[in-house]
Amino acid sequence: MPGAEARVPTAGADRHLLQLCRHFGRALPTRLEAARGRIAFQGGRCSLEAAGETLVLRIAAEDPAALVRLKTVLAEHLQRFAPREPLAIDWRPLG
């Protein structure tokens, strides 16, 4: 399974994790506990972790096309939830 990770520096890591999980949880299986979350997308899954002032996003996808799609969807939603905070979302391959 192709994968990617982004470590996003932000003072609002907890808030952004909660926003993403609640938003996607309206339509997708989602788990949220303490400073961690998990979202099951069609074609892959994303685990989220608020680690101090860093939001860690890890994606595992069924194929390279799904990986590109999930990276785009997550980045766009995260940027939408933080319009006044320029977020650096730098995806790196896993494994």
Quick: pLDDT tens for 34-89. 899 999 999 999 999 999 999 999 999 999 999 999 999 999 999 998 888 889 99
Other Cβ atoms closer than 10 A to 5? 15
Cα angle, residue 62 at apex, residues 12 and 41 outer, rounded to 5°: 45
Radius of gyration of the chain (CA): 12
pLDDT at 21: 96
pLDDT at 25: 96
* Dihedral sign (CA 61, 24, 16, 32): negative
* Sheet strands (E) in 1-95: 3-9, 30-33, 36-41, 44-51, 54-61, 91-93
CATH of 3-93, one of 3.40.50.300, 3.30.310.50, 3.40.50.10420, 3.40.640.10: 3.30.310.50
Is residue 81 within 8 Å of residue 45, measured between CB atoms? no
